[in-house]
């Protein structure tokens, strides 16, 4: 069994209008991988994005709630 933790910082490569901060936010990813047999592997993950207010601007994503967005998934292979 393995457990991974990744932390990502996001920054705009383009110059933004209205003196917006180029730093968009931070994402934390957790991933758990378990190998049952040689042929069966289960992987689950959870990600949380803590976006800055720049992410909500019309110049970037135009989202209504930029603060915390999360995603969860499970894969059996």
Strand order in the sheet with 68-76: 2-11, 23-35, 41-51, 68-76
SS3 70: strand
pTM over 0.75: no
Buried b (16+ CB within 10 A) or exposed e, 1-19: eeeeeeeeeeeeeeeeeee
pLDDT tens-place values along the chain, 77 residues long: 999 999 999 898 888 877 788 888 899 999 999 998 989 999 999 998 888 888 777 777 766 666 677 788 888 87
């Amino acid at each position: 069994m393995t457990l991974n933790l990744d932390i990502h910082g996001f920054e705009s490569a383009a110059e933004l209008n209205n003196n917006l901060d180029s730093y968009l936010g931070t994402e934390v990813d957790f991933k758990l991988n378990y190998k049952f047999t040689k042929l069966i592997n289960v992987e689950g993950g959870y990600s949380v994005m803590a976006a800055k207010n720049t992410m909500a601007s019309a110049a970037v994503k135009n989202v209504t709630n930029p603060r915390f967005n999360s995603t969860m998934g499970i894969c059996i292979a």
